[in-house]
Chains A and B, each alone.
Chain A
Amino acid sequence: MKILVPVKRVPDPELKANIKDGKLDLSGAQWVVNTFDEYAVEAALRLTENADEGSRDGEVVVVTIGPDDAAVQLRSCLAMGADRAIHVASEDANLDSLLVAKTLKAVYDEEKPDMVLLGKQAVDGDTNQVGQMLAALLNLPQATFAASIELADDGKACVVSREVDAGVEFKKLPLPAVVTVDLRIVSPTSITNGITPESHEYADGPRYASLKGIMKAKKKPMDNKTMADLGVSGSPVVKELEVTLPEARAAGQIVESVEELVKKLSEEAKAL
Chain B
Amino acid sequence: MSQNINRYRCDLRDLQFLLFEQFGLQEILGKGKHADWGQEEVNMVLSEVYKWVCDVTGPINESADRVGCKFENGEVKTPAGFKEAWKSLYEAGWRGLGVDEKYGGQGGPSTLALTANEMMSGANTAFNMYPGLTQGAAEVIEHFGTDEQKKTFCKNLYTGVWSGTMCLTEPHAGSDVGAATTKAVKLDDGRYKIEGTKIFISCGQHDITDNIIHMVLARTPGAAAGTKGLSLFIVPRESVDGSGYNNVVCASIEHKMGINASSTCVLNFGEGGDCIGELVGTVEGVGMKQMFLLMNFARIGVGTQGLGVAAAAYQSALEYAKERLQGPHMKNFKNPEAPKVPIIEHADVRRMLLEMKGRTEGIRALVVKLGMHADKVDILEDGDQKTYEKGQLDLLVPLVKAYGSDQAYEVATTAIQVYGGAGYLQDHPVEQHCRDAKIFSIYEGTNHIQALDLVGRQLGQRGGANFQAFLKDIGAFVAKNSENETLGKHVKELGQAAQSLGATAMRFLGWFQGGKAQLVPLSANIFLKMMSTTAISWLLLEQAIIAEGKLAELAEHDSDRAFYEGKRYSAIHYAGLELGQVLNNAKYLGEENQAPMEISTASF
Residues of A within 8 A of B (CB): 27-28, 72, 75-76, 79, 203, 205, 208-212, 214-215, 217-218
Verify if B92 is at the interface (C-beta below 8 Å from A).
yes
Decide if B93 touches A211 in the complex (CB within 8 Å).
Answer: yes
Query: Once bound together, how far apart are the Cα atoms of A214 and B96, in whole Å?
Result: 13
Decide if A28 touches B559 in the complex (CB within 8 Å).
Answer: yes
Decide if B91 touches A210 in the complex (CB within 8 Å).
Answer: yes
* B interface, size bucket: 20 to 34
Residues of A within 8 A of B45 (CB): 211, 214
**Given A27-B559, A76-B44, A208-B48; A218-B92 close (CB under 8 Å):** no
6 nearest A-B residue pairs (beta carbon):
A28-B559, A211-B93, A27-B559, A209-B48, A210-B92, A210-B93
A126–chain B nearest beta-carbon distance, Å: 22
Query: Once bound together, how far apart are the Cα atoms of A264 and B255, in whole Å?
Result: 57
8 contacts between A and B (CB under 8 A): A208-B48, A210-B91, A211-B45, A211-B106, A212-B106, A214-B41, A214-B45, A218-B36
Residues of B within 8 A of A203 (CB): 88
**Given A208-B51, A208-B52; A214-B559 close (CB under 8 Å):** no
Residues of A within 8 A of B94 (CB): 211
Interface residues of B in 26-60 (CB under 8 A from A): 36, 38, 40-41, 43-45, 47-48, 51-52, 55
Verify if B558 is at the interface (C-beta below 8 Å from A).
yes
**Given A210-B91, A211-B106; A27-B558 close (CB under 8 Å):** yes
A209-B92, A214-B45 given; 18 more Cβ-contact pairs under 8 Å: A27-B559, A28-B559, A72-B43, A72-B44, A76-B44, A208-B55, A208-B92, A209-B44, A209-B48, A211-B45, A211-B93, A211-B96, A212-B93, A214-B41, A215-B36, A215-B41, A218-B36, A218-B40
Residues of B within 8 A of A210 (CB): 91-93
Query: Once bound together, how far apart are the Cα atoms of A266 and B271, in whole Å?
Result: 79
For the A-B complex, the count of residue pairs with Cβ-Cβ distances under 8 Å equals 51
Query: Once bound together, how far apart are the Cα atoms of A212 and B48, in whole Å?
Result: 12
Name the prevailing secondary structure of the B interface residues: helix
Verify if B300 is at the interface (C-beta below 8 Å from A).
no
Decide if A211 touches B97 in the complex (CB within 8 Å).
Answer: yes
Verify if B462 is at the interface (C-beta below 8 Å from A).
no
Verify if B334 is at the interface (C-beta below 8 Å from A).
no
B48: contacting residue among A27, A28, A79, A218, CB under 8 A: A79
Query: Once bound together, how far apart are the Cα atoms of A208 and B44, in whole Å?
Result: 12
- Whose C-beta in chain A lies nearest to the C-beta of B41? A214
Residues of A within 8 A of B102 (CB): none
What is the 8 Å Cβ interface bit string for chain B, positions 69-105, against chain A (1 contact, 0 not)? 0000000000000000000100111101100000000
Verify if B557 is at the interface (C-beta below 8 Å from A).
yes
Query: Once bound together, how far apart are the Cα atoms of A214 and B40, in whole Å?
Result: 9
Query: Once bound together, how far apart are the Cα atoms of A217 and B97, in whole Å?
Result: 16
Decide if A75 touches B88 in the complex (CB within 8 Å).
Answer: no
Query: Once bound together, how far apart are the Cα atoms of A75 and B45, in whole Å?
Result: 12
Decide if A215 touches B92 in the complex (CB within 8 Å).
Answer: no
Decide if B92 touches A211 in the complex (CB within 8 Å).
Answer: yes
Query: Once bound together, how far apart are the Cα atoms of A210 and B93, in whole Å?
Result: 6
- Whose C-beta in chain A lies nearest to the C-beta of B99? A211
A8–chain B nearest beta-carbon distance, Å: 18
Decide if A75 touches B40 in the complex (CB within 8 Å).
Answer: yes
Decide if A218 touches B41 in the complex (CB within 8 Å).
Answer: yes
- Whose C-beta in chain B lies nearest to the C-beta of A205? B55
- Whose C-beta in chain A lies nearest to the C-beta of B97? A211
Residues of B within 8 A of A75 (CB): 40, 44
Query: Once bound together, how far apart are the Cα atoms of A208 and B55, in whole Å?
Result: 10
Decide if B48 touches A76 in the complex (CB within 8 Å).
Answer: yes
Decide if A218 touches B38 in the complex (CB within 8 Å).
Answer: yes
Residues of A within 8 A of B52 (CB): 208
- Whose C-beta in chain A lies nearest to the C-beta of B555? A27
B26–chain A nearest beta-carbon distance, Å: 15
Query: Once bound together, how far apart are the Cα atoms of A211 and B108, in whole Å?
Result: 10
Query: Once bound together, how far apart are the Cα atoms of A209 and B94, in whole Å?
Result: 10
Residues of A within 8 A of B97 (CB): 211
**Given A27-B557, A28-B559; A79-B44 close (CB under 8 Å):** yes
B594–chain A nearest beta-carbon distance, Å: 54
Query: Once bound together, how far apart are the Cα atoms of A215 and B93, in whole Å?
Result: 11
Decide if A208 touches B558 in the complex (CB within 8 Å).
Answer: no
Query: Once bound together, how far apart are the Cα atoms of A211 and B160, in whole Å?
Result: 15
Query: Once bound together, how far apart are the Cα atoms of A75 and B47, in whole Å?
Result: 12
- Whose C-beta in chain B lies nearest to the C-beta of A209? B48
- Whose C-beta in chain B lies nearest to the C-beta of A28? B559
Query: Once bound together, how far apart are the Cα atoms of A76 and B91, in whole Å?
Result: 16
Residues of A within 8 A of B43 (CB): 72
Interface residues of B in 524-565 (CB under 8 A from A): 557-560
Interface residues of B in 329-379 (CB under 8 A from A): none
B431–chain A nearest beta-carbon distance, Å: 24
Query: Once bound together, how far apart are the Cα atoms of A215 and B558, in whole Å?
Result: 32
- Among B41, B44, B47, B94: residue with most chain A CB under 10 A: B44
Query: Once bound together, how far apart are the Cα atoms of A215 and B559, in whole Å?
Result: 31
Query: Once bound together, how far apart are the Cα atoms of A28 and B558, in whole Å?
Result: 8
A200–chain B nearest beta-carbon distance, Å: 15
Decide if B40 touches A208 in the complex (CB within 8 Å).
Answer: no
Residues of B within 8 A of A215 (CB): 36, 41, 106
Residues of A within 8 A of B93 (CB): 210-212
Residues of B within 8 A of A27 (CB): 557-559
